[in-house]
Amino acid sequence: MLGDSVLQFSTIIGAYLFAMGVGSYLSRFFDRQLPAHFLRIELLVALIGGALPALLFIANAWAPGAFRLLLYGLVLVVGTLVGLEIPLVMRILKRNVALRDLVSQVLTFDYLGALAVSVAFPLVLVPQLGLIRTGLLFGLMNAAVALWALWLFRHELRQWRAHAAACVGVLALLGAGFAGADHITTLAEDRFYQDRIVASERSPWQRIVVTQGRNGHRLFLNGNLQFAQRDEYRYHEALVHPAMAAHGAPKKVAVLGGGDGLAVREVLKYPSVQSVTLVELDPAMTRLFAQQPALAQLNANALASPKVSIVNTDAFKWLEHDKGSYDVIVVDFPDPTNFAIGKLYTNSFYALLDQRLSAGGYAVVQTTSPLVARKSFWTVVTTIESVGLRAAPYHAHVPSFGEWGFVLASRRPWRMPDALPAGLRFLDLPALAPMFDFPRDMARVPADVNRLSNQALVTTYEREWGKVHE
């Protein structure tokens, strides 16, 4: 929610480890009734840690200004509690185990458990259960440990019934949350997205949400708007037609990203097109926009065309291994909000793109707002030019996004086309030339090349768009 970046990972992990250190220090003040303290700590970890994702989703929808404070506050609380656990466990077990064996066994199981969970979390649990249920599942695991401790130390606990009632209560709360996780998600998302949610799906890569309101459908990926039905035609016509029409008679076309099929819809308006290869990482996207009637209608059933081949893979890897040559390549990725997407805006990526272009081919890249994120926009232009391609930047106004930018890349200069397909709602030949003129507040500024080794674009993008949201 804050941006899947190195900054967020680093600060969250750093805060968590710091809090564990604080918890370890505080453990020295626990002298008596260690099993009781351990049981209470497990229940608190279960309740607070298990509910953490659900609380953050609700806060993001109902009190976005408090999100960051709540996130770091809860991380510090959970980290402190977890920091108390291992010292207490070791002090409890030292009564029956030699110190050398005790340290070895406790730390071995701790590290092996960390490995198992760190692999299972992104690959199995979140894709299958979603973030809210995964958090609650781990909470239930901690509550089960508390229940086991309740039985194991039943003869030492002074208030056994109270502890038993607390275990049952926490298990009941977490179980109810696990059963009603979909309602929690819907409650948060209905508030966040405002319009009625008509389709939602959690894939291993992203959260896909489609809403429908008075102005039609809107697509959100991880909470970020990707298109609005009322004006998406302006974006997609501007993205596709300057490259396609300038080529004249493109036969082989590749679309990278754009799993909603809207760019493919525009490509298929050219009778010369013989094949379109759509490379989309997330099969959930292409499945949703191919099979759900209302969404397939938006792209004019483009994904069902016999000319279209869908390849669900990473575009970077596809460019490395594909040996084809394409007349036009449409690059329609989300903005570079994190390093995973940022690699698709690097000079390494554009060098691969160059290899896949035919001699007279054109590539076009959607390139954020040259007004809001001026340096980010010109960073992409500079990066494209750094691999020896000619860059022809242009912009168009899309009401849902404001002034939006694109860059044409080719080995030959871009030329004004002689004609455009019939039936376009936004573009015509007189409107094309002004799109390539930039007023003073969007004019070119010095920018660095975005490389895999530095990902300068992601940092610049976060800084520029962050000012808009402050």
Show which residues are catalytic: 332
Measured at the CA of 435, the angle between CA 432 and CA 441, to 5 degrees, comes to 165
Encoded amino acid at 134, one letter: T
User: CA nearest 261: which of 220, 215, 310?
Assistant: 310
Give the C-alpha separation, 277 to 320, whole Å: 15
251 and 324 Cβ atoms separated by less than 8 Å:
no
Give the C-alpha separation, 65 to 107, whole Å: 39
**The token pair that represents 28 in the structure block:** 């020295």
- For residue 350, with 0-12 CB atoms within 10 Å meaning exposed, 13-18 middle and 19 or more buried, which class applies? buried
157 Cβ contact list (under 8 Å, min separation 6): 35, 36, 39, 150, 163
- The per-residue DSSP string of 287-332 comes to HHHHHSHHHHHHTTTGGG-TTEEEE-S-HHHHHHH----EEEEEEE
Phi-psi region at 300: left, alpha or beta (left = phi > 0; alpha = psi -120 to 50): left
List for the chain the helix, strand, coil content (%; round to 5). Answer: 55, 15, 25
Determine phi and psi for 352, rounding to 5 degrees.
-65, -40
Segment (H or E) for 106: helix 99-120
Q: How far is CA 194 from the centre of its chain?
A: 20
Encoded amino acid at 42, one letter: E
Encoded amino acid at 145, one letter: V
Collapsing DSSP to helix, strand or coil, 93 comes out as helix
Give the C-alpha separation, 391 to 96, whole Å: 72
